[in-house]
Structure 1
Amino acid sequence: MFPPGKDLAENSNIQRWMERYGITDYDELLQRGRDDPEWFWDELARSWNGSSPIKRS
């Protein structure tokens, strides 16, 4: 992988997603995903298609 340029990084979908949840950098995003994987994957899926694909029993 290559590090994206500043303009690309600041205008990316992942950056907007992180800002929505108050996540300040990529390392924080990774840590939040490790700490609460259910939240991470549920919110990521919701942002892609508008609904959660996870069915909880």
Structure 2
Amino acid sequence: MAKITKDTIIADVLKIDPETAPFFFEIGMHCLGCPSASGETVEEACAVHGVDADELIAKINM
């Protein structure tokens, strides 16, 4: 699997590994198919949702 970073677009994360969706749902990111997910990085989305991007990235890349 490709390494996911804070700069990775959410839609790309889901293309690389669709099984990451539950991580986003757990932190309140429920609109994974909306336009924001197509242009928003993991870091940007985490900032909007008040989540530590480094913690999310660590979980995704386990």
TM-score interval, normalised by the smaller of the two chains: 0.3 to 0.5
Please say which structure displays the higher CA radius of gyration. 1
TM norm structure 1: 0.37
Ranked by relative contact order (alpha carbons within 8 Å, sequence separation 6 or more), the top structure is 2
TM norm structure 2: 0.35
